[in-house]
A and B are shown apart, each in its own frame.
Chain A
């Protein structure tokens, strides 16, 4: 008998159990493909006006940054250190590539071949210092000039955190324009650190920007934090 026959038989038997229907299951995955739908996509776009249960956006100030067509002048969320730190982190991820880490419009991408009719926004101008916070929220949400909307990348609560941080950046670069002096900021910072130190050992970040922002009480919060 040909010795190869049993070998083949063995191989055939062991391979008979091989199949991949668990490996590739007939299920949908995020951003997957699907021939069934005309657009070929697995994920279905939401119908216009869809509201998830419990997610109705009634708070105009929080979700649009404007009330009755006017930009809001105060943050619709409480201004806390945590908010500013969140804002700093999100700002550095989504905004700093163009606007730069201190908000002077001098980011890496802005320096890398943007040829715009208008340069990238610099927050440290009189016009933007006087701008109500709602404006910044609106720009993040809907875009502005060459800037695209970031509404699909930054959620509303994070947008407010970024807005708060932008204000902190503005104060940090020109405290005088906001009616505070550097000494006042320094005093407030030390007070805050002492309080935080007494409170517990909650870690202190070492960015001057976020601290100076906190000391600026004119920018404080309205009531009701919405989420």
Chain B
């Protein structure tokens, strides 16, 4: 009877075993890395838009408040994209001949909304609510990155569940209040930071505020700040026990 396996079968077996031992984890890690990389999350990847709208110009250079356009951010789950009417409030007078604004004028004349490309998106099984985050004093940039310095808007954070949970498991690491303005409600604290930045520049801000404004803040480990955070969590009535429950976001 002839040999079933040739001598080379030894090598193939060895190679297969080695391949499995190395290959499976490699593929596994590659997928994990890829799903966390900007290629998938789109973090820091500017997204082309029908109109090259610059937040840097409007929010920083001109100092227009976020809420001028995103009117419903304080009271609705959805921050709201401005109606073309909002653009035209100024651009019916300014830059009226710019070819870049042609889609805006077209939209206004025909009543057809501008089709912006969505930069920030959570899956449909996640229920995110802007108003509750604003009313607990979470700065826009905590999630959206340094929007006021974006020429073309990009995503500031991955918006993956792991990232959400970082704060939902330990809100005291993230929650912040400017102690020099005790008169402001948490909601007002959010927007006051931008006014402060406008007035004082980066130099006038504390380290933490600077990190918030530049979108680099990833939670504090400073015991004193965490203590203050714990107090705020208490004051704002945040129920930490329930904050990381599935049903908080998935309902």
Contact = CB atoms under 8 A, between A and B. Distances in A.
Contact of A204 (B12, B88, B183): B183
B94 A203 contact: no
B113 interface: yes
A92 B63 CA distance: 11
Contacts of B68: 93-94, 97, 153
A3 B93 contact: no
Interface string A77-109: 000000000000100111001100000000011
Interface centre among B12, B65, B92, B93 (most CB of A within 10 A): B93
A41 interface: yes
Contact of B62 (A24, A30, A97, A146): A97
Contact of B65 (A41, A92, A204): A92
Q: How large is the interface on B (under 10, 10 to 19, 20 to 34, 35 or more residues)?
A: 35 or more
Contact of A3 (B16, B67, B80, B112): B16
Interface residues of A, number: 34
Contact of B12 (A3, A39, A116, A149): A3
Q: What DSSP secondary structure best describes chain A's contact surface?
A: loop
Contacts, number: 75
A3 B19 CA distance: 10
A97 B14 CA distance: 73
A203 B183 contact: yes
B8 interface: no
A27 B184 CA distance: 38
Contact of A152 (B83, B182, B191): B83
A178 B19 CA distance: 88
A27 B80 CA distance: 18
Contacts of A204: 183
Contact of B63 (A25, A31, A94, A108): A108
A41 B113 contact: yes
Interface in B108-123: 111-113, 115, 123
Q: What DSSP secondary structure best describes chain B's contact surface?
A: loop
Nearest to B16: A3
Contacts of A147: 89
A205 B86 contact: no
B93 A116 contact: yes
A148 B188 contact: no
A44 to B, nearest CB: 14
Contact of A22 (B64, B67, B123): B123
B125 interface: yes
A23 B125 contact: yes
A115 interface: yes
Contacts of B86: 153
A46 to B, nearest CB: 14
Interface string B86-98: 1011101111000
B124 A112 contact: no
Given A22-B123, A27-B124, 18 more contacts: A3-B16, A22-B125, A23-B124, A24-B124, A25-B125, A30-B78, A31-B113, A39-B112, A41-B113, A92-B195, A93-B67, A98-B90, A108-B63, A108-B64, A112-B62, A114-B93, A146-B93, A204-B183
9 contacts: A3-B12, A24-B123, A33-B115, A108-B64, A109-B62, A109-B64, A147-B89, A148-B85, A203-B183
